[in-house]
Structure 1
Amino acid sequence: MKKKQCLKKVMLFAGISACTALPAMAADQAQQTPRLLLDVNMVLLIVIIFLLLIIGMLGFTLRASIDVYRERKKVQAANEDKGKNKGPEYLKPLLTLAAVFVGMQVFGQEDAAAVTAVPNPFTEAKVLRYILVGVIALELLTIFAFIYWIRFFTGIEELRKAHAVAKKERYKGLRTWWSRANKLKPIEEEDALDVGHSYDGIRELDNATPPWFTIAFIASIVFGIGYLWRYHVLHAAPNQYEEYEIAVTKGNLKVASYLKSKGDAVNENTVVMADAAGIEAGKKLYTANCTACHGNAGQGGVGPNLTDDYWLHGGSVKEVFKTIKLGVVEKGMMSWKDVFSAEQIAEIASYIKSIHGTNPQGAKEPQGDIYKEAAAGADSTGAAVKSDSSAAR
């Protein structure tokens, strides 16, 4: 019932204010040219009425919060000694409540004066506008005051202060711990740390070394001794160089395993000439690995000439593949099967076959037996004929 009565009073006050302002606005509009836009003073008046409604609702909430505050204080007083003076505890809410109602009455009178005095006292629109803006400012201040009082009477402000104190105490403990950990002295004891040296007004203080620094320094020495004993005295674990060699060895084993698994795909019995891309890839491999013995153009050097018709171990692509794969140890030709994959050996062999007949400058004299490619349908190994040059070798 109290809530409904309070709301009715607020709505009644707002309606009376609006009805009082209507004749003044009608008279003012009769003297002016009709406009589609609302007058600024009219907008300010609407804002004033709206803020008054908010003040009324906050006033009702404030009264309820004061009741809550009273009940809470009664419970606290019942638990305290009965001989204590209770006057101040009850006086503050009563004075606050009186100030609230006086403030509401004053603001209501100012607003009514601003509305009813439009026709005669305020002949200048700007003066009236300033008055309305001032009323709005006072209403906003009243709203802020009501909000603060509501926070106070409901205990929200007290709770906030308690949290702030607890937070301060928590950080105070952290600061105290940090001071102990670093052996910091308060500013009041600074004179006791003065060693008597001053440079341009800067005094030298004998501050103790922080314990954490001393502990870290000692720990680094202990770690260094343990590291030296483990890796350089006992050799119980590989050092960084040995770890690198182990990693490289494992990597080579993985590569060899991969190449071995791929070796059955192409061999000396199934290899055929590669396409243009394969020949280009074989050229790169040849340039990087074979030029030291056979020359950059296959003209020969330590090894035989690869561009003429003479071959020591057969000139077909299959025979060249087999020679590269297995090598000829007695003549210095290493086996490349552990270095290259079967596909790579096939690409190198295809490149070597592609440079046949190029006759590069500085070509080495023929070695081995002459080899001629067989005609289509014949044996792919071709025909080898014994040459005089091979007889001489």
Structure 2
Amino acid sequence: MKRILTFLLTIITLQASAAGAPPDPYGELSHPVSILLISIAAGLLIAICVLGHTVIGAVDIFRDRMKKLPLILVLLAVGQGAFAQEAAEEVVKTVAGPMVSGLSDTTLYMLLTVIGLEILVLLFLLQALRILTGIQGMKKAAKAKAKAVKEAKPGKPRVTWMERLNDTRSLDAASEEEVDLGHDYDGIRELNNPTPPWWRWAFYLSIVFGIIYVWRFHISETAPLQLQELAIAEAQAAAQKAEYLKNAANNIDENTVKLLTEADDIASGKKVFATNCAACHGPEGQGLVGPNLTDNFWVHGGKVGEIFSTIKYGVPEKGMKSWKEDFSPKQIAQLCAYIHSIKGTNPANPKAPEGTEVKE
């Protein structure tokens, strides 16, 4: 242990000289960082002393190995000192001032190097103690013993993962006698070949599932049966379809509109016409200020899309307003259906034909 303590003091001196330490660095030892690092170094030194004493007491051979330790650590110290000096010069080049305020970089590097070397010594002592106490030897002996026992046992057939899964094993002439059930049919013997475990567990689970199913669907009736699920799904589909048609009806325009033929649509279009269009086109579409809608003559086109466009955008130069802000696309389509239904009705006092004749 005297050699180790002497060596550590030598390392401190070497590190101080290698890093260019000032002659009197003890004024900085009162710095909090210095106190912390010195405390760590002291704790590691105590651990080294205790562990070194244990290792030395473990076996006398360790003393011969420790004779080579100072030389190895001196070489490490020289390398660490050179590295610390280079690191210090690099820091001086890149950083103005010390790394820790109130503590010179030389003192900081010296303390850190001592701590690092103490950690290396601890690791070395732990490895030496591990070897000397026979940990590795015991493991090797245990492995060798297990290998010898395994080789001494008679050979057994290798069990594959499929055999483990099915709880089966490869049989020879001797082992067949153990599982022979004594049933012989024309020279064919029956062996004990139980059902695989996975099959049995699947069967047990199916029984549990069946009990839960019967209770849930037929006794407590907390879940719908298949026909009930079908009825619920059809009702949901009908509601979704109605909602879709409701939204789709307002997505039509003059390019996608189609002639509606349902009586409800025509009746709805008639109500809209009587309320908003009869003042200009007459209550029966015979024409007043606006043109006659019951003949085959059209000023702006008589097709469904053209009628839809005329109602939607209006004809401002002729005094007809745009109705797209008043009617929904569905209502305009219903209005087109009603206008188409009154063609050829020949009401009383019709207005003279205007525009171009359109024959269907």
The normalised TM-score by structure 1 is: 0.28
Whose relative contact order is higher, 1 or 2, with alpha carbons under 8 Å and at least 6 apart?
A: 2
